[in-house]
Amino acid sequence: MHIQLPSRLTARQYWVALGLVSKINQADESEIVLDATHLKFIDPFCLSLLASTGSDHSRSGGTIRLINLSGSISSYLSRMDFFQQ
């Protein structure tokens, strides 16, 4: 499954983040690709939500791949230990 991320993932628009979680949780495919081409900002709430959802998906045997991350978003996610298991 391929999911295009929006330009912003924030608690102010929590319904967008919850919709993303819902798509991931309802996916039939074990591999989910999150395309971050347009992602410019993610706040701590959505980062935690995405990390938790990815962890749950991984425990059930699935994988989530983030593609097309900008340098600044990738750096932020690394600093927040997002890529740690």
Nearest Cα to 54, choosing from 30, 80, 38, 28? 30
pLDDT tens-digit series, residues 37-78: 999 999 999 999 999 998 899 888 999 999 999 999 999 999
* Cα–Cα dist 80/2, whole Å: 24
Predicted confidence (pLDDT) per residue in 14-33, tens digit: 999 999 999 999 988 889 99
Distance CA 50, CA 22 (A): 11
The strand pairing partners of 14, in sequence order, are none
Of the CA atoms within 13 Å of residue 62, those in its CB half-sphere come to: 19
